[in-house]
Amino acid sequence: MAIVEGLFIYPFKSARGLPRTSIRVASSGFEWDRNWMAVDANGKFLSQRTHPTLAQLVPTLTSDSLVLSLPGRSPLRLPLLPDEGPRRDVSIWRDRCGSIDQGDEAAAWLSGFLGQEVRIVRVPPRIERLANPKYAGSVPAPVTFVDGYPFLVCNRASLEDLNSRMAEPVPMERFRPSIVLGGLEPFAEDRIATVSLGKLQLRLVKPCDRCIITSTDQTTGERSTNPLPVLRTFRFDRELLGVMFGENAIIESGVGTELEVGREATVTLDG
């Protein structure tokens, strides 16, 4: 048994995360998660890897809008329901998919902050991307503007183990999880096959390889303590050629349910 200690959504890709006490599960992950993002003039996604100051972008969800706030600027309000903006093809890693452009005012608002020409786009009503079937399996798993999978599951004990090796600890928000589980042994997630949370069942499909974003202070947008060198000493995966922390997950059942902090979870192990 485990317990849900934290729930987070990231409405705008690579902006500040929003902690939640409860959240609805949509077919592509948590409702409103990574439904908006910034792209450059070529349609390529922007993230904190190259633009760490995106961490200063604070999203708020109201009943009808996504409100974006930045230091020294008036908030930008975008409608939750898809509008009739022009379609724009965008790229996320190796994927190419459609999006809906959010207009010149939104583009100018963020371009002025980042110091380059960008557009703000949102997921179209019909989601076109799928998680990599090599890991997700044969049943299509729709995804929004996430890097690759609907959920990222992290283990509180794994962070505590990492921090016991660090000269300066790092907070869980650096790893930008969807779900944080407690009550497990450190790195037990390596061996977990499924997580059952009431009607919601998730299948853990691939370790998450970590990048420079884990060194970014999620309040200031500045590079700070970097956990990657320490993680590399004991969490390097020779097959995936990366440093691993957390597990990517897809939905097996339970679309439409509400998940709450404090929910007990039943885990099954591989093999």
- Each residue of 63-73: pLDDT tens digit? 999 999 999 89
Q: CA–CA separation, 95 vs 48, rounded Å?
A: 19
Number of domains composing the chain:
2
Is there a single domain that holds both residue 115 and residue 135?
A: no
- 139 with 247, same domain: the answer is yes
Q: Do 68 and 87 belong together in one domain?
A: yes
Supply the pLDDT for residue 81.
87
120 with 137, same domain? no
Contact 204, 133 (CB under 8 A): no
Q: Which of 156, 240, 160 is nearest to 205 (CA)?
A: 240
Two tokens at 46? Answer: 């922007």
CB neighbourhood size of 157 (10 A): 18
Q: What is the pLDDT of residue 82?
A: 72
Q: What is the residue range of 187's domain?
A: 2-29+131-269
CATH number, domain with residue 177: 2.40.33.20
Query: In this structure, are 24 and 87 located in the same domain?
Result: no
Do residues 250 and 163 share a domain?
yes
Q: Which of 80, 101, 126 is the last residue of a domain?
A: 126
List, in order, residues 6 or more apart from 213 with CB less than 8 Å away.
14, 47, 48, 49, 52, 174, 176
pLDDT of residue 178: 98
- Residue 189: the pLDDT is 97
Domain match, 141 and 110 both: no
Give the pLDDT of residue 66.
97
Nearest to 35 by CA among 10, 2, 16, 18: 10
Boundary of a domain, candidates 126, 160, 177: 126
**pLDDT score, position 111:** 97
> For position 226, what pLDDT does the model report?
98
Q: What is the pLDDT of residues 90-142, one digit of tens each?
A: 999 999 999 999 999 999 999 999 999 999 999 998 888 999 999 999 889 99
Q: Specify the pairing of strand 76-79 against strand 65-69.
A: antiparallel
* Helix/strand/coil for 153: strand
List Cα–Cα distances, 228 to 160, 171, 175, 182, 240, in angstroms: 15, 14, 11, 23, 15
Q: CA separation (Å) from 28 to 91, 145, 179?
A: 18, 10, 15
**52 lies in the same domain as 84:** yes
**Strand-strand pairing, 179-182 and 151-155:** parallel
Residue ranges in the chain whose pLDDT is less than 50: none
% of the chain exceeding 90 in pLDDT: 94
The pTM of this model reads 0.96
Of 77, 105, 126, which residue is a domain's last?
126
Q: Looking at the structure, tell me whether residues 198 and 165 fall in a common domain.
A: yes
230 and 173 in a common domain: yes
Burial class (CB in 10 A: 0-12, 13-18, 19+), 63: exposed
User: Which residues are CB-contacts of 77 (< 8 A; sequence separation ≥ 6)?
Assistant: 65, 66, 67, 68
Co-location of 108 and 188 in the same domain: no
**Burial call 244-271: b when 16+ CB within 10 Å, e when fewer:** bbbbbbbbbebeeeebebebebebeeee
202 φ, ψ to 5°? -110, 145
Closest among 26, 36, 151 to 99, alpha carbons compared? 36
For residue 185, what pLDDT is reported? 97
Same domain for 170 and 218: yes
